[in-house]
Structure formats: structure tokens, C-alpha cells
């Protein structure tokens, strides 16, 4: 190992459809063994970006570099990347084992070898007992594991996941989420994961790219993004922040850093008990605010709808945002 090398590099990547710009000015440098999430609302270009890395979308300009090799003009299979599709795209006419072994069959590997290798992978996702079934006979979570095994059989250096958890029910989603992270660390390869859920991105990623309108608004670790959102879009999208108008530029203040004291001109308009925390909506002179209190803090004051309060925070918790 020659220290940290930048495994995946994107240089000024751009995608246009005619005159419409889908994605532009993407620069990214990911070290080895990184979990990266592309986060943004639908239509922000995150899937286009992923498909450009995978080679399923032609690159208008810019370069994709993987392990110091320019792969911009290579076919998907030559890139040593592998993609897991949003609805898994399992071949309905093939048994689970043949789905997993598909890439090896195409590569001309003989049946015993490719089935043995597929069984190994199926065992690693605990599906070896299902190898003779067809995809339609599996649950959503099982299909997802098959798709994962199929993507990994080519031993990719980079795994690309297009909203891998969105088709699962909430309970399973959280379970699979932690499994994905464990798997990424075990394999030691880089995952690039597209999602529109900030919760998912925060839980998984080493590096998050927050995207909007075909551009990267901010990139960094989940902690950096949460503690220092660059602009109003990131602060709102990442959640947990109030964005209010400052002098000229917007400022953000974390929901859990606002204090409410009885007697003032601000009105409580909502109280949501969420277990360990309580979320309050307050109509203040600066606009509507969301305030999160710990349950202990809440039981002291017991604020209710219609109570008159005063919202305040210390100056150091106030964060200046860019326009």
C-alpha cells in the first residue's frame, strides 16, 4: 500500500441534454475505502452523475479517473465499476444463482466455477438456500441482497448504488443500511450511494455531496455539513437548522440551540412529543422557528399550544450563511 491514494476523481464533469444542463462543474476526489453519498432532491442530477461514473450516461465534458486511469470513454464493464440499480433490475427469467453468476457467464467462465463463486457470494449475503428460486419468489430485502451479490461478482473497485434502500419498508431500510456500511468496510472498496434521504446519507457516509440543480452545493463529512452548512439550501436540506434572514445574508441556528422562556411575544404553534426529544413550532418575529428540546428541558416548562414565549440563543451558535 502506497499510502492514501485518491481512488476516484471527478474533474469538472458536465452533462448536457441539448441545451439543458443536467450536471455541471463536478469536482470530487475520494480516497480509497470511502463511503460517499450523493444527496439531493429529485431532479438534482445525482442519478445522472452516478450513471456517468458507471458509464451508462455519456459524459459531455470532464473526466472520470479511477485508480489513476482515465475511464471516461470506457464501456461500463471495462471500468471495474459495478452498479446496483434502483429496482435491482434482476433478470426475471434467471434463477438467483444465474442472476449472480451472469457477468461470469458473459465472460465465458465455465458453469461449475461460476456457480461456485456465485454460491460464495450468496452465502456472504445469507441467501445460499434461495439459489434455485426466481427473483419474483423473493422478498424485497432478499432481492436487494441478490442485486448486491450480482454487482460484487466482478470484484469491482467501485460500487455504485442507485437509491438502493428506497424500495424497502422503513424497518428493513434501517437494517440494510447498517449492513451496507459493514459490507463496505469489509470489502475495503469505495461505495458511491445515491439517496434523497438526508438521514440515510448522514448515517452512512464518510463524505456527502449535497447536490441541487445539477451542482454540488457543499461536500464534506456529515459532521462538517451539519455543523457548518455553507448556504441556506444545505442548512434546510440537511435538517436540524432554522434559516432566518440576517442582515443581508441568511443565518442558521440549530434547532436544539434555541431557548424558550415564558413571557414574550412569540407564540407556540405546535408541540410534537418524539420520545427523547420534543419538537416545538414557534411563530416568532423573525418567522416560524422549530425548536427541539430534550424531554427533561420540556418537562420543566411544559409549554403548550398558544403559550407566549421568547425565543433566544447565544451569539456563538448563530452561523453566517453564504447567499
Partner 1 sequence: MKVAADSFGGIMIDVKKHSAALLSLPFALVIFGFFVVPLCLVIMVSFWDYNSYSIIPDFIFTNYHDIFYGCVKSLPDLCTSFATYLSSLKFVFITWVITLIIGFLVALFLCFCVHSLQMQIVLFLLCTIPFWTSNVIRMISWIPLLGRNGLVNSTMQNIGLTDSPVEWLLYSEFSVILAFVHLYALFMVVPIFNSMLRIDRSLIEAAHDAGASSLQTLTSIIIPLSRPGIIIGSIFVITIVMGDFITIGVMGGQQIPSVGKIINVEMTYLQFPAAAANAVILIITTLMIIFAMTKLVDIRKEL
Query: 215-231: string of b/e by CB count within 10 Å (b at 16+)?
Result: ebbbbbebeebbeebbb
Give me the least distance between CB of 211 and partner 1, in Å please: 22
Cell of 163: 437509491
- Beta carbon nearer to partner 1, 105 or 281: 105
One residue of 107, 182, 249, 305 binding partner 1 per CB under 8 A: 107
* 83 touches partner 1 by CB under 8 A: yes
The span from the CA of 290 to the CA of 195, in Å, is 25
Taking CB under 8 A as the binding criterion, the range among 102-110, 211-219, 235-243, 265-273 that sits at the site for partner 1 is 102-110
Instruction: Return the percent helix, strand and coil in the chain, to nearest 5.
Output: 35, 35, 30
* 315 touches partner 1 by CB under 8 A: no
How many residues touch partner 1 under the rule CB under 8 A: the total is: 23
Under a CB-based contact definition with an 8 Å cutoff, are residues 235 and 318 in contact?
A: no
The span from the CA of 299 to the CA of 283, in Å, is 21
Query: For residue 148, how many C-alpha atoms fall within 13 Å in the half-sphere facing its CB?
Result: 27
Burial bucket for residue 107 (CB in 10 Å: 0-12, 13-18, 19+): exposed
* 75 touches partner 1 by CB under 8 A: yes
* 89 touches partner 1 by CB under 8 A: yes
One residue of 31, 76, 250, 264 binding partner 1 per CB under 8 A: 76
* 17 touches partner 1 by CB under 8 A: no
* 93 touches partner 1 by CB under 8 A: yes
- Beta carbon nearer to partner 1, 86 or 283: 86
Cell of 179: 449492513
* 54 touches partner 1 by CB under 8 A: yes
Cell of 88: 435491482
Taking CB under 8 A as the binding criterion, the range among 34-42, 83-91, 124-132, 174-182 that sits at the site for partner 1 is 83-91
* 113 touches partner 1 by CB under 8 A: no
* Interface residues toward partner 1, by CB under 8 A: 54, 56, 75-77, 82-83, 85-87, 89-93, 102-103, 105-107, 150-151, 154
Amino acid at each position: 500500500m502506497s499510502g492514501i491514494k485518491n481512488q476516484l476523481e471527478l474533474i469538472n464533469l458536465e452533462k448536457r441534454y441539448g441545451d439543458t444542463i443536467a450536471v455541471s462543474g463536478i469536482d470530487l476526489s475520494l480516497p480509497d475505502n470511502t463511503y460517499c453519498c450523493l444527496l439531493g432532491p429529485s431532479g438534482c442530477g445525482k442519478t445522472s452523475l452516478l450513471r456517468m461514473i458507471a458509464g451508462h450516461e455519456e459524459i459531455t465534458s470532464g473526466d472520470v479517473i479511477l485508480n489513476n486511469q482515465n475511464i471516461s470513454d470506457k464501456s461500463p464493464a471495462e471500468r471495474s465499476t459495478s452498479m446496483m440499480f434502483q429496482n435491482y433490475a434482476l433478470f426475471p427469467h434467471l434463477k438467483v444463482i444465474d442472476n449472480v453468476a451472469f457477468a461470469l457467464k458473459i465472460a465465458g467462465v465455465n458453469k461449475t466455477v461460476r456457480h461456485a463463486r456465485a454460491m460464495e457470494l450468496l452465502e456472504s449475503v445469507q441467501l445460499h438456500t434461495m439459489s434455485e428460486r426466481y427473483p419474483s419468489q423473493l422478498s424485497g430485502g432478499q432481492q436487494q441482497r441478490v442485486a448486491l451479490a450480482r454487482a460484487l461478482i466482478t470484484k469491482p473497485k467501485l460500487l455504485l448504488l442507485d437509491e438502493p434502500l428506497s424500495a424497502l419498508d422503513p424497518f428493513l431500510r434501517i437494517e440494510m443500511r447498517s449492513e451496507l456500511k459493514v459490507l463496505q468496510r469489509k470489502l475495503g472498496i469505495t461505495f458511491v450511494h445515491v439517496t434523497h434521504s438526508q438521514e440515510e446519507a448522514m448515517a452512512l457516509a464518510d463524505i456527502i455531496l449535497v447536490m441541487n440543480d445539477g451542482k454540488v452545493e457543499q461536500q464534506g463529512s456529515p459532521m462538517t455539513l451539519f455543523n457548518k452548512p455553507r448556504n441556506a439550501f444545505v442548512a434546510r436540506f440537511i435538517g436540524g437548522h432554522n434559516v432566518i434572514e440576517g442582515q443581508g445574508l441568511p443565518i442558521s441556528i440549530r434547532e436544539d440551540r434555541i431557548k424558550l422562556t415564558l413571557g414574550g411575544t412569540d407564540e407556540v404553534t405546535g408541540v410534537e412529543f418524539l420520545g427523547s426529544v420534543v419538537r416545538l413550532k414557534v411563530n416568532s418575529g423573525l418567522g416560524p422557528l422549530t425548536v427541539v428540546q430534550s424531554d427533561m428541558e420540556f418537562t420543566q416548562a411544559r409549554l403548550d399550544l398558544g403559550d407566549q414565549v421568547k425565543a433566544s440563543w447565544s451569539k456563538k451558535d448563530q452561523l453566517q450563511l453564504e447567499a
